[in-house]
């Protein structure tokens, strides 16, 4: 079983299926533009591929336990994507593009954190529940001291994801034309926040 319980697992699965479908659709549109002789936006293609893979990884995480080897393989993949996205800054001209790219890098860092810290996050929650049930103040204090840094770091990552979600929500509301892509990124960031909090 995965780490998310009903009905949130259904809601998040639908959300990540939506983000994956939007990114695949946008990637196909860019490829068609390139085939028609128009300029292909390499950084935009990278973002779409990245978020499609990320959406699939999130759905896998929701519904099944990921072996340690699988987690570390995904960590490597998303670190590579993060470094590749940094290079996309070189293609950015407008401030909005820079902020968008930074947001995508943040989501990749959040994904790496989620995969790497999942055992610690799950242990932290279990330890807190155990200490509360046992009623031992000294034991609870030791457990809290051992896991506080994990909770603090998780809170920092959630805050960065929330900043990205608010930015893309702002972009969605202010856009006069195509809004689906910004909405997709808003939902991706929000879904990651939900995943990190329920762990």
Contacts made by residues 129-135, CB under 8 angstroms, sequence distance 24+:
none
84 CB neighbour count, 10 Å cutoff: 16
Residue 82 CB contacts under 8 Å (≥ 6 apart), including other chains? 105, 108, 109, 112
Amino acid 129: pLDDT: 47
Which parts of the chain sit beneath pLDDT 70? 1-2, 38-42, 91-96, 124-146
Q: Supply the pLDDT for residue 111.
A: 97
pTM summary value: 0.86
**Domain residue extents for the chain:** 8-198
CA atoms of 106 and 161, how far apart (whole Å): 7
For residue 158, give the nearest of 124, 123, 184, 191 by alpha carbon. Answer: 191
Given a contact cutoff of 8 angstroms between Cβ atoms, the answer to whether 74 and 57 are in contact is: yes
CA torsion 180-157-166-8 (nearest 10°) is 60
Q: What is the pLDDT of residues 61-92, one digit of tens each?
A: 999 888 888 999 999 999 999 999 988 777 66
């Amino acid at each position: 079983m995965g780490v998310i319980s009903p009905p949130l697992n259904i809601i998040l699965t639908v959300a990540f299926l939506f983000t994956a479908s939007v990114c695949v659709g946008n990637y196909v549109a860019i490829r068609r533009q390139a085939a028609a002789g128009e300029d292909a936006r390499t950084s935009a293609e990278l973002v779409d591929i990245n978020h499609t893979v990320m959406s699939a990884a999130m759905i896998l995480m929701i519904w099944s336990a990921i072996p340690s080897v699988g987690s570390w393989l995904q960590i490597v993949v998303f670190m590579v994507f993060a470094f590749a996205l940094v290079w996309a800054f070189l293609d950015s001209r407008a401030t909005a593009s820079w902020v968008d790219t930074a947001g995508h890098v943040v989501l990749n860092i959040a994904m790496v954190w989620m995969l790497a810290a999942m055992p610690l996050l799950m242990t932290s929650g279990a330890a807190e529940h155990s200490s509360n049930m046992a009623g031992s103040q000294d034991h609870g204090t030791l457990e809290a001291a051992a896991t506080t840094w994990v909770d603090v770091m998780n809170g920092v990552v959630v805050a960065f994801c929330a900043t990205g979600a608010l930015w893309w929500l702002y972009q969605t509301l202010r856009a006069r034309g195509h809004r689906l892509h910004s909405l997709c990124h808003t939902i991706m960031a929000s879904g990651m926040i939900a995943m990190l909090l329920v762990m």
